Amino acid sequence: MSADKHLQSWQERFEMAEAMQPLLGKLYRNQGVEVVLYGKPLLNASTIEIIKSHRLVRRFVGYKLRLRESFPFVEALSKLAVKQCKVDIGKLAINYWREHDDASEIEAYMSRELAPAIDHEDTQEARDVVLYGFGRIGRLLARLLIERTGVSNKLRLRAIVLRGGRKGDLEKRASLLRRDSVHGPFNGSVEVDEENNALIANGTYIQVIYANSPDEVDYTKYGISNALVVDNTGIWKDEDGLGLHLKSKGVAKVLLTAPAKGDIKNIVFGVNESDILSEDKIVSAASCTTNAITPILKAMNDKYGITNGHVETIHSYTNDQNLIDNYHSADRRGRSAPLNMVITETGAAKAVAKALPELAGKLTGNAIRVPTPNVSMAIISLNLESETDKEQVNEYLRDMSLHSELQNQIDFTESTEIVSSDLVGSRYAGVVDSHATIADGNRAILYVWYDNEFGYSCQVVGVMQKMLELNCQSLPNC
């Protein structure tokens, strides 16, 4: 191909990606339809991101998907009365072009494949969400909720609750939402309403409330009712502490973004969210590491059976560690986080049993905090009931990442060059590094990357939707 043809090809792809963007936005905002491409979200994606996502299809099917092959499916989708679902336009396009030579039957094909969501009566009411605490996870949850702003959005961020209220606090909170050293700038605008003590982010009006205890807020004063409070503070972890939220007017349910104590259900979305009952008032979304490893452990146990194993977490440092050497109540964590690898404990391996009872007592775990600000890795060493090898394990996990009920939790990479910073912003619970897989006989060692902030936050949103009974089906079926 000549240089001019390369440029012409690029121009055509660029223009087609630009033409997709308004259709993708309208589908979500007007119909509640989120379009993905082999699991990669296209909502609010840039032109370049749309082009790159098409190239990445090669990882799954052996060849790239051209924009001229997928664009007719986006067009057809925009004409259908599809509501409240997630549609993988990449899978639809690949499956269609394998059996057809032209576009004449696309609309009929789409109508068949998406029939469960066509003319679907949308009876779900929008629900109020309150973020109690606005640290790393709180701000990322805010980003995830705000990016879906639209009339069809059922999760409405109504307020954030903070301690303090010192002069200049509101502007500082807005600044932290606008800019993030790890995750980059906020995709949109954030305004400060000093008079009413609120933030306005991409048209979402967010009341800022100051309180020292979960039970001292009257949310109904702000027009908030029947709300889900997401506690990101980590201060209260048992039923007595988290139950304080339920004493505040306007609160219906509470979700903890940390492992819970006692009999509170620890939920890993994609694995045991069916355990959530409508009468459950308090639920935990477990930890980032538990979310990263449990879907993959479930997949391995379902296929091969797990006799026992060990999970070693190579975890980025967290806010509870010290920048420089100073006193800390926990062993070793007082040493400078940016300068040291720090051996510490993790309860993630034991916590897996709360989501997967069949693995109770079969796993041990430990953790090493390392001098990176985000993205971690779990090294999962397993003794299996049946024999396998590297190729079989990778082929199985690759298939699980594409065509199983865990496809939104498990991602899979075949890159020989991938490093931790490449996974910043990953929306998956865990990403299998296939080149690092070791398997022989009854033993398997898996290396699983995970964005311990953003990927975990995406899992939390799934639990939020389940608690509020906001169901969103994924099409086409696995």
Burial 121-132 (b: 16+ CB within 10 A, else e): eeebeebbbbbb
Secondary element (H or E) of residue 182: none
Mutual angle of helices 67-79 and 47-55, in 10-degree steps: 120
Could you give the CA distance from residue 315 to residue 411 in angstroms, rounded to a whole number?
19
| CA distances (Å), origin 51, targets 39, 63, 66, 94, 328 | 15, 14, 9, 16, 48
- Residues catalogued as catalytic: 288
109 vs 476: CA distance, rounded Å: 11
360 CB burial (10 A radius; 0-12, 13-18, 19+): exposed
CA distance 478 to 88: 10
H and E: helices and strands count for the chain: 13, 20
Q: Nearest to residue 157, comparing CAs of 187, 191, 194, 129?
A: 129
Residue among 408, 407, 310, 438 at smallest CA distance from 366: 310
